[in-house]
Amino acid sequence: MQISLKWINELVNIEKIKLDTLVDKLTLAGFEVEEMREIKISKTNQIVLDISATANRSDSLSIQGISSEIAALLKTSLNLSNHLIQSEKLKQIIWDKAATFSISTGCTTLLSVSVENLVDKTIPKWITKKLLSSGITPSNTLVDFQSYILLETGYPFAFYDFDKIRKKIGKVDFKLSVSRAAGNDSFVASNNESYDLDQSILLLKANEIPISIGGIIENQEFSCENSTTSILIEASIFTAAIIRQQSRKLGVRTDRSARYEKSLKNTYLIESLYRLISLLRISNPKLTIKLRTIIKENEQVINPISLNYGTLKEILGPTKKSSNKNFEYIDSKTIEDYLNRLNCKYDYNEKTNAWRVTVPHSRSEDLTREIDLIEEIGRLHGFNNFLITLPKLKVIGTKDKSYETRQKLTSCLLNLGLNELIHYSLVNEKTFLTNQISVINPLVSEYATLRLSLLPNLIRTSQENWKQSNAIINGFEYGHVFSLDTNTNFKEKEHVAGILGGFGTKTTWAESEQVVSWFEAKGRIERLFEQLNVSVIWKSTSVCSNHLQEIFHKYRHAEIYLHSGTLIGNFGQVHPILANDLSISSNLYLFEFDLDIIKVALENNNVSIYKEYSSYPKIIKDISFIVKQDIEFDLLKQLLYLNGSQFLSKINLLDEYKGNSIPKDHTSLCLQLIFQSNEKTLQNSEIEEILNNIRFVLTQEFNATIRN
């Protein structure tokens, strides 16, 4: 917005304020001064500033608004325009006559006034100068009055040819209303463009005849011309969201719609209309004015905000007046002065040392919380007037447990040869998982839902690299997953997931490539938990969680639990049907764990106790036997350790064999048993006795057949 300091000076006395000082105060207050320059208008030099305001300060997008802001920053009075004072009685009369909207239409205020005997449409020279100083070239039409009022007050007004409307309707009196388009309507606007309307578009109608697209552009049929002598002035307030949606859908944006998009209140609507009529009267003293329509929504009740002095001190901190020994803070008197500058009403409670603040109607959308008021007070005081050094803390901080868990887990996963990957939390709703939570207004359809699992993105990444014949993607990812519980409440958890295998590898030049097997992949995960010092239980299952059934192989999937029975997560091979659909290797292995469960397990870990290596020799014995293939190897190991005495230190699986000599549904296992004592040299006779006991237990418990 380009503003002239000469125009500002009419409302706020800034003659004695240095330009650099004014620019600094505006910048620190959140108004970015993009450019300063000098222009010549009617042989007079003027300084103009190009200012941009933050999105939540729509009240400052006018000369009156920015002047009010400058007055508050400079602690000076604002010279109220005559129309603001003279229109007070008229304002009360008009609002008393207002009807109320019975339903929400997207229009909060609808006001119209007819103006007749409008003969001279030229604007005064002083208005011409002000338009030029704001970067607008006058056209000597009614548009100049609209542009000037928009600049001065921030309110956009629409003009219609009053005689054309009455001629179309065939009546002197008519009723204005706001309603949705019927659908499949065509609308020719004042810019000579035709627009197809659907039922989402708001129309302003005069007795069911559309005269404009609400808040955006007028109907060409009722637009004003040079010969127009009577006009209908529409002064409406539309909600920002409705105008943004309509403008985007129709592909049209006007000065009027741009102003509505930034939100507008009806606080000074009557005063601005009064000002517009006063300007029209300058060259047309015999104007006939009549109020035609006045409807508004019930005024929103503005709830008071509690402003606690202690909270304000804690957030803003001491001022620069503080000494090394004593901190000085903003006092109560200064705070109340700032509240007065903001036009807030307040009551102070000495017992609670807090204020009960009611913000003005024009600031009711951006001042809604205590922190908003504290920010405004800090802004008026000047954020550069507070100490910026952090106080020295005597309390020694501790490391975040979640961070420590991630750090340790990352180190282990990197050691296993996996690389860290990163994906978006938003995923395509057409992914091979049915995600439960959709974004209401996604930017693009590719990111329309919140992910239920980390695995789909990892699989997609592997697929893309497979297509490009890139290197092996063995990777892991941390991220949040989202779901709904039984009460349809949102749940958010942090998971870690990974993918490995797929491509063949070889350890020597002469060997052929070998893909990672189930046991190799499972061994890496076992190694991971060993490094974390977390004891887990593996349970094979053919029943996955609903959202994992399409990802994991039905018969090559396992759930991993803590000994307490808490589920950590899942590990398994990719589902062959999914692998075929995506044209990827079926030898991919996936895992996904709950990071919070791992964190708790690490916190509950006992302190590790170290002991010396035994200096006595080991005795290694092999044992072969045949058992049913559905017996879990962990059960066998547990049984052997229980019956192998304290000397059995380690069990290794050397070989598994299935063939013609092995009964159906059975398998032959060859185990290596390592015996060692920390106190003596073991004798073969002792070990043979232990082995005989182990053979007996295997035959009794698992009906095993011992092989020679």
The contacts of residue 372 (CB under 8 Å, 6+ apart) are 305, 366
For tokens 């930017």, what's the residue?
A: 443
92: part of which helix (H) or strand (E)?
A: helix 88-97
SS3 237: strand
Q: Are 155 and 268 in contact (CB under 8 A)?
A: yes
Token pair belonging to 344: 């807030």
What is the distance between the alpha carbons of residues 88 and 92, in angstroms, rounded to a whole number? 7
In whole angstroms, what is the distance from residue 247 CA to residue 239 CA?
Answer: 12
Q: Produce one character per residue of 573-611: b if its CB has 16 or more CB atoms within 10 Å, e if not.
A: bbbeebbeebebbbbbbbbbbbbebbbebbeeeeeeeee
619 Cβ contact list (under 8 Å, min separation 6): 674, 675, 676, 682, 684, 687
How far apart CA 477 and CA 427 sit, in angstroms, is 15
CA distance 162 to 172: 10
- Which of 649, 648, 625, 645 is CA-nearest to residue 701? 625
Look up residue 570 and give its two tokens. 């899942």
376 is in an annotated binding site: yes
For residues 184 and 153, the answer to whether their CB atoms sit within 8 Å is no
Q: Measured between alpha carbons, how far is 582 from 576 in angstroms, rounded to an integer?
A: 10
| CA pair distance 483, 453, nearest whole angstrom | 9
d(CA 333, CA 346): 13
Query: Distance (Å, rounded) from C-alpha 233 to C-alpha 114?
Result: 6
The edge-to-edge listing of strands for the beta sheet with 32-41 is: 2-4, 44-52, 32-41
Q: Is 372 annotated as a binding residue?
A: yes
375 is in an annotated binding site: yes
Q: Residues comprising the binding site?
A: 366, 372, 375-376
Q: Residues comprising the binding site for Mg(2+)?
A: 366, 372, 375-376
